[in-house]
Amino acid sequence: MSDCIFCRIAAGQIPADIIYEDADHLAFRDIHPAAPLHAVLIPKRHCATLADMTDAQEHGRLILAAVATARALNIEKTGYRLVANYGADGGQEVMHVHWHILGGRILGWPPG
């Protein structure tokens, strides 16, 4: 989708600091990091929201890619948080499925 910012990153049309990539997924540094280490992981295939992604295997592969991204950030031992913002109350701004991978500091709970 040419008007989707994450599709444009996946297509190489917008530069990004790539952390992890495989055939179906791409993880890059968030432009406004909320933690010392903050990656955004996307499926390369456009899908607007988690609810639109109905294939359980696709969800599963995305989570495995999130774990691989955390490994690439070297935060497997120290720990990290996976966040998927959904809808208005959840604060989803970019309508292309993505997981945030946050680490590099102790993360408070519950989130504000």
Instruction: Kindly list the catalytic residues.
Output: 98
**Nearest approach, Cβ of 46 to Zn ion (angstroms)?**
4
Is the CB of 60 or the CB of 91 nearer to ligand 5GP? 91
Alpha-carbon span 52 to 73, nearest angstrom: 28
- The SS3 call for residue 67 is helix
**Contact present, 58 and 43 (Cβ < 8 Å):** yes
Which of the choices Zn ion, ligand 5GP, none does residue 7 contact, using the CB cut-off of 5 to 8 A by kind?
A: Zn ion
The pair of structure tokens assigned to 23 is 């055939």
Site for ligand 5GP, residues 27 to 66, rule: CB under 6 A: 28-32, 40
**Nearest approach, Cβ of 60 to ligand 5GP (angstroms)?**
20
Answer for which of 46, 59, 61, 81 binds Zn ion (CB under 5 A) is 46
Q: Which amino acid is at 39?
A: A
**Contact present, 35 and 80 (Cβ < 8 Å):** no
**Nearest approach, Cβ of 80 to ligand 5GP (angstroms)?**
15
